[in-house]
Structure 1
Amino acid sequence: MKSRAFVPEKLDVAALAHDGASLQGEWPAASLQRLADSAAPEAPAGGWPALRWSLNGELRRPKAAAPQTWLHLTASAHVALTCQRCLKPVQEDIDIDRWIRFVDTEAEAAALDVDSDDDVLALPRHLDARELIEDELLLALPLVPRHEICPEPLPVPDAAEESAAEEEVERPNPFAALAALKRGGSA
């Protein structure tokens, strides 16, 4: 039997699962534009190590049910994001290990996704694995990247900033005048 050649950018997931085949590789981080856009300005994605990924197809045959198409996706990347405390680059290791079940229709995927802990997607004719891997990496990024301990002390506001903040606190409430007028008019 002739083995099939699989291309990640135009992947036939059903055939990959049917054959029990695997794909793996590396891509430059800068080639994933949306992931590269999350980079800290001082550490662009061009300087990041290549990200590694692998895809393994599996056809599961549960008793008294139709065969199920599954894809095991693993990926790892080393990224530099902006620390939200000190605004300096912070290095993050992102590791993904997911099983995705593919079903025939979007409606079936939506129904199963609600009841299942597994990720469920509608089976496309061809899947762009690069886009799927990038989506999973983006979802795995920390919401608020920050250093455990920032490398430089955080800036302390100077006296001028403190006095401006105090003046802000001492300003009268603009609605206090309205409340006074309201009380005075009804008396």
Structure 2
Amino acid sequence: MRAAKPFDPLHLDVERFARESGALQGAWPLEAFERLTDSQAERQAPAGRQVQWQAGGQRFERVGAPAEVWLHLGAHATVRLVCQRCLQAMDVPLEIDRSFRFVRHENEAAELDAQVDEDVLVLSRSLDLQELVEDELLLALPLVPRHENCRHPAAGLAETPAADEAVAERPHPFAALAALKRDLT
């Protein structure tokens, strides 16, 4: 009897992985993720940083319909971004926990994608799991990275949620003019 061929995360046969309820996990160096590294405060990822990941495949048989093929993916990493308040480097933890449903054709994926909330991809005999992990980590990046508490260089004031609320509670500078206008009419 021939031993089952091991799964290669860089050339993953998703259908076989799901059929055999495959499971993979590991760590890749952060610098292996070129696009993610390009989004960081420093072009060079801090030494020793890694992306920890795990993947699992599932296949659900359906009566009168093709089986559903699923890939569950989780990963976490810490990247260094620039705080948009103080413009200093900061570490930002990223976490992903996603499930993907695979279908056979592009048009089926497009049709299902419009109908359901789940992520739908086209089946591939050679899915690059590292690329998918990188795509998902890029989507997990904050739009505006900023420290919880930091000093804004322009204002010289501590920026905190309490300070943001105080600014929101101040009367609008044109409120007095609006009141005057109401009184005149």
Shorter-chain TM-score above 0.5:
yes
1: CA distance, partners of 2:84 / 2:47: 21
SS in structure 1 at match of 2:102: strand
Q: Which has the larger radius of gyration?
A: 1
Structure 1 letter corresponding to 2:87: L
- Name the residue aligned to 1:45: 45
2: CA distance, partners of 1:47 / 1:145: 22
**Unaligned ranges ≥5, structure 2:** 157-185
- Name the residue aligned to 2:132: 132
- Name the residue aligned to 1:86: 86
2: CA distance, partners of 1:48 / 1:37: 17
- Name the residue aligned to 1:56: 56
Is 1:31 aligned with 2:32? yes
Alignment of 1:169-180 (within 5 A): none
Cα contact 1:30–1:36 (8 A) shared by 2: yes
- Name the residue aligned to 1:115: 115
- Name the residue aligned to 2:141: 141
2: CA distance, partners of 1:92 / 1:8: 26
Choose between structure 1 and 2: higher helix proportion.
Answer: 1
Deviation at 1:156, TM superposition (A): 4.0
Choose between structure 1 and 2: higher strand proportion.
Answer: 2
- Name the residue aligned to 1:163: none
2: CA distance, partners of 1:51 / 1:36: 12
1: CA distance, partners of 2:68 / 2:117: 16
Cα contact 2:85–2:152 (8 A) shared by 1: no
- Name the residue aligned to 1:166: none
- Name the residue aligned to 1:168: none
CA RMSD of aligned residues (A): 1.7
Structure 2 letter corresponding to 1:127: L
Cα contact 2:18–2:71 (8 A) shared by 1: yes
Deviation at 1:146, TM superposition (A): 0.6
- Name the residue aligned to 2:177: none
Cα contact 1:84–1:146 (8 A) shared by 2: yes
Deviation at 1:61, TM superposition (A): 1.4
2: CA distance, partners of 1:134 / 1:59: 24
Task: Give the TM-score taking structure 2 as reference length.
Answer: 0.78
Cα contact 2:75–2:133 (8 A) shared by 1: yes
Q: Deviations over 1:128-151 (max 9, x none)?
A: 11111100000010011111111x
Deviation at 1:63, TM superposition (A): 3.7
Matched residue pairs, number? 155
Deviation at 1:56, TM superposition (A): 0.3
SS in structure 1 at match of 2:54: strand
- Name the residue aligned to 2:154: 155
Cα contact 1:102–1:123 (8 A) shared by 2: yes
Which shows bigger deviation, 89-98 or 47-56? 47-56
Deviation at 1:153, TM superposition (A): 4.5
SS in structure 2 at match of 1:61: strand
2: CA distance, partners of 1:71 / 1:154: 45
